[in-house]
Structure 1
Amino acid sequence: MHQIISKEFQFAQLLRFAFPSIVMMVFLSLYTIVDGFFVSRFVGTDALSSVNITYPFTSISIALGVMFATGGSAVTAIRMGEKKMEEANHAFSLIVFFCFILSVAIAVPALLWMEPLVKALGAEGELVPLGVEYLTVLVWLSPISILQILFQNFFVTAGKPMIGLSLTIAAGFANMILDYVFLGIVGMGIKGAAYATAIGYCIPAAGGIFFFIKNRTGLCFVKPKWNKMVLAQSSLNGSSEMVTNLSISVTTFLFNVLTMRYFGADGVAAITVILYCQFLMTSLFMGFSMGVAPVISYHYGAVNTTYLKHLKKMCWNFIAVSSLLVFAVSLTFTEGIAALFSESSVGVYVLICRGMRIFSFSFLFAGVNIFASAMFTAISDGKTSAIISFSRTFLFIILGFIVMIQLFHVDGIWLAIPFAEFITALFVLWLLHRKKQDLKTENV
């Protein structure tokens, strides 16, 4: 059966194929920012801080979903490239079923010990009840959240990225409208923001279930068959993405602790906005990598050596140009973004502007690191991908905190991420040089 991802795309065609994934990731980040806007404007910056404080736990579910989505997508696409469609369907169905059950197993104990969990995440005083309200709703619907993460990737693997994009846009608009209704009109407080987000999750989850049940001409649901090798390969291939999300949760926790120590609640609110912007600015790289990964996997499985080399060159050229563009946009719109969340006369606004200007330099290097990690995941080299992700999102950030704060004091907090991205980019270049002969052997 002819698959869309089997095409030998030229650059314009490749960009057109990846475009829905790019728009989807940008849109996801935008409605995350809109969430923060409504929370800060209608509930207050303390509520915005509590949202960020609870993030390290919600990122656990996200990490598992992303791990199996990216790793499982690679496993499935490689089987499709090998013309083993039945095996691809069984792998896909098992991954979705397993992830749903796993998310339920994580949610139950969290709901039983919610307040101690929120306190352990660093919430104090007024932030504790706000955090409990917000996190309880999201944990209840975390299995739905995992499904929508899985389907975002598997729509691309199925050659239907526009369906995933349409569902994501619908979910985003629903979230934005419900944010306004629940917070601005009904006055539900932070719980309203959680309900708006959770209801938004339901749209791509339900759409994905319907599509993969009805789709009988390509990737679809079949009765799951237990296959520990599929789960092991998926988790190994996607381990870098899991490492990324878990590391982000740890570093977010550290950012919260450090900004609380130096700036108080205003600092936590400021780093929340800056991390929102990081998600927005890097969403271009993440979306592009997500969009092209199944194409890389398919041609890797088909052993199409010549085209893989051309594909890799096109991707690196795109990353180089887009990195400069994202850096310029970030610097240009710093004040405008800060103004969305805070009045210009208050401390939070000043902290956002100062931090964002320094933070922007990270975008010059982030694209290289994100795509390199995704590329190795796509060819089932999960170990190398995980090393890159761990270095970028944890090891070098911790080193950045230690070195930059010593050298630049409070500005070192904002410099930690640019430092980590720069050092990781150097590491990636060294790693690619070292693996050059291996990459030729592996047809990349």
Structure 2
Amino acid sequence: MEQQNQIFETLSPTRLFFRCALPSMVSMAVAALYTIADGVFVGRFIGSDALAAINLVMPVLSISFSLADMVAVGSSVQIAIHLGEKKELEASRIFTVCSLLIVGISAVVGVIGYFGAEPLVRLMGADAEVTALSVEYIKVYAVFAPFIMVFFAVDNYLRICGRTHYSMALNIMTSLLNILLDYLFLGVLRLGIGSAALASCIGLSLGTLLGYWPFLRKKLQLRFVRGKIRLRQIANILFNGSSEFFSNIAGSILMIILNSILLHLAGSMAVAAFSIVLYVDSIMASLLYGMTDSMQPAISYCYGAKLRGRMFAFEKRVLLAGALLSGITLAGMRLGGQGIISLFIRENDPALLEMSLRAMELFSFTYLTGWIGVGLSAFFTAVNRPGTSLGISIGRALFFPLLALAVLVPLLGVDGVWLTSAASSTLTAVMTAVFLARFLYGQKKEGRPEPPSR
């Protein structure tokens, strides 16, 4: 525990930011690359219908993973706070109970997903071919659910214990394995869309095993212990993770709505075009979420240890880095969009290229303000303000996008869909600024004597 105190309590905020954020961002970026590799291999070797199929079922998969993510995020906050309060045994109990809880939830989700995939996909209104591809893809994930949904939780637990480089290596290993299996299954053996899902599941399953290995060896602060935690504490964990849960749920519901609107306005080609944009967006999103997630243990620890100055210093660096990354992404999408999009489509599909390029140009405006909501939502989760974080998440992921859709689509048609994310991000930024001002005012009233860290 002494080493963890030294890292979170005495290391300069800038050095700690780079020490925690860079490995997580690298690992998340590599993870996004394997998602993009799925899109490139599927688009080139199977076709645009397969791209549309994956985009249709991705919200369903996100909803499933969000259940595990709710427990993972909520428990990570509580674990870090307890470590900051020097209560290691209680932190290990939370780690043990929540790991088992996620496995149990995953098993139930897998059964429901396997048997409910076909009727659910049919409700989305896709044609028979796209429906068949979607069902084949999602059933593979359902079979592996108990082994893969816990992977993202163990990644959080490793970072809490200071094993950021091990976490990075683990993510890189699983991502590279997935890319190699994608190439083998799709590029060499020319198997179907189910093999793309199988490649991902094999990599994540191996990642889960290797992720828990250091805990099983009892070499880290957290370890598997006997005992229970109070139901009230479990409720707090679920509530604290509810912002990410409802954000994922809201985002997934929004994606289902967007896909339905695109199918109605322009058919499966529009869904395929949107999926290409989202593949590219996933790199930036992974960097932002990797950065904010990596700093959550440090912020939560300092909140528990009442080191308010350091807590705010960490968040300043998160927001500054988010603004810089978003500016680079905005420029990249607008200047290099055609070259990026060409990776995902066959040469004889100029219509899809044109539609995807238009979608990317308009979607890129999201990065003017999108980083604000992501950075501050994670901050409010880290300081045990789940209600505020939940409000930001639901506003960003569902309420503001639906409002933007209602206004923009009747006026602009398909272009209104591409601009929805940018409009909702701007509204979210305004709302989070109000919440932050209220939080800072509350901290000032407490009159903490500690000077701010620089």
Same fold (TM over 0.5): yes
Query: Which residue of the other structure, out of 411, 421, 438, is the alignment partner of 1:434?
Result: 438
> Does residue 381 in structure 1 map to residue 411 in structure 2?
no
The answer for the alignment partner of 1:33 in structure 2 is: 36
CA shift, 1:259, in A, is 1.3
Q: Which stretch has the larger CA shift, 214-223 or 352-361?
A: 214-223
Contact map agreement 2:401 2:421 (CA 8 A) in 1? yes
Contact map agreement 2:110 2:145 (CA 8 A) in 1? yes
CA shift, 1:228, in A, is 1.8
Question: How far apart, in 2, do the equivalents of 1:221 and 1:327 lie?
Answer: 44
Contact map agreement 1:179 1:192 (CA 8 A) in 2? yes
Per-residue CA shift, 1:418-443, capped at 9, x if unaligned? 00001100111122123321244577
Query: Which residue of the other structure, out of 390, 393, 398, is the alignment partner of 1:394?
Result: 398
> Does residue 229 in structure 1 map to residue 232 in structure 2?
yes
Question: How far apart, in 2, do the equivalents of 1:34 and 1:440 lie?
Answer: 48
Question: How far apart, in 1, do the equivalents of 2:187 and 2:309 lie?
Answer: 56
Query: Which residue of the other structure, out of 327, 330, 333, is the alignment partner of 1:330?
Result: 333
The answer for the alignment partner of 2:364 in structure 1 is: 360
Question: How far apart, in 1, do the equivalents of 2:161 and 2:8 lie?
Answer: 8
What is the DSSP-based 3-state SS (H/G/I as helix, E as strand, rest coil) of the residue aligned with 1:390?
A: helix
Question: How far apart, in 1, do the equivalents of 2:353 and 2:218 lie?
Answer: 49
Q: Which stretch has the larger CA shift, 40-49 or 337-346?
A: 337-346
> Does residue 424 in structure 1 map to residue 400 in structure 2?
no
Query: Which residue of the other structure, out of 244, 248, 257, is the alignment partner of 2:260?
Result: 257
RMSD: 1.7
**Percent of residue pairs bearing the same amino acid type:** 33
What is the DSSP-based 3-state SS (H/G/I as helix, E as strand, rest coil) of the residue aligned with 2:343?
A: helix
What is the DSSP-based 3-state SS (H/G/I as helix, E as strand, rest coil) of the residue aligned with 2:223?
A: coil
The answer for the alignment partner of 2:133 in structure 1 is: 130
> Does residue 144 in structure 1 map to residue 147 in structure 2?
yes
Contact map agreement 1:42 1:189 (CA 8 A) in 2? no
Residue correspondences, number: 444
Note closer, same or farther for the CA distance 1:151–1:322 as it changes in structure 2 (3 Å cut).
Answer: same
Structure 1 gaps of 5+ residues are none
Question: How far apart, in 1, do the equivalents of 2:208 and 2:89 lie?
Answer: 23
What is the DSSP-based 3-state SS (H/G/I as helix, E as strand, rest coil) of the residue aligned with 1:126?
A: helix
Q: Which stretch has the larger CA shift, 262-271 or 102-111?
A: 102-111
Amino acid in the other structure paired with 2:30:
F
Contact map agreement 1:343 1:349 (CA 8 A) in 2? no
CA shift, 1:62, in A, is 1.4
Structure 2 gaps of 5+ residues are none
Amino acid in the other structure paired with 2:305:
A
Question: How far apart, in 1, do the equivalents of 2:67 and 2:41 lie?
Answer: 28
CA shift, 1:290, in A, is 0.8
CA shift, 1:16, in A, is 2.6
User: What TM-score do you get using the length of structure 1 for normalisation?
Assistant: 0.96
> Does residue 153 in structure 1 map to residue 162 in structure 2?
no
> Does residue 269 in structure 1 map to residue 269 in structure 2?
no
Q: Which stretch has the larger CA shift, 220-229 or 200-209?
A: 220-229
User: What TM-score do you get using the length of structure 2 for normalisation?
Assistant: 0.94
Contact map agreement 1:5 1:157 (CA 8 A) in 2? no
The answer for the alignment partner of 1:50 in structure 2 is: 53
Amino acid in the other structure paired with 2:69:
V
Q: Which stretch has the larger CA shift, 27-36 or 82-91?
A: 27-36
Question: How far apart, in 1, do the equivalents of 2:439 and 2:294 lie?
Answer: 24
Contact map agreement 1:56 1:121 (CA 8 A) in 2? no
Amino acid in the other structure paired with 2:132:
P
Runs of 4+ in 1 over 3 A off after TM superposition: 4-8, 439-444
Q: Which stretch has the larger CA shift, 280-289 or 341-350?
A: 341-350
Question: How far apart, in 1, do the equivalents of 2:124 and 2:66 lie?
Answer: 17
Write out aligned runs for 1:13-412 (5 A): 13-223=16-226, 225-343=228-346, 345-412=349-416
Question: How far apart, in 1, do the equivalents of 2:131 and 2:227 lie?
Answer: 41
Question: How far apart, in 2, do the equivalents of 1:323 and 1:88 lie?
Answer: 35
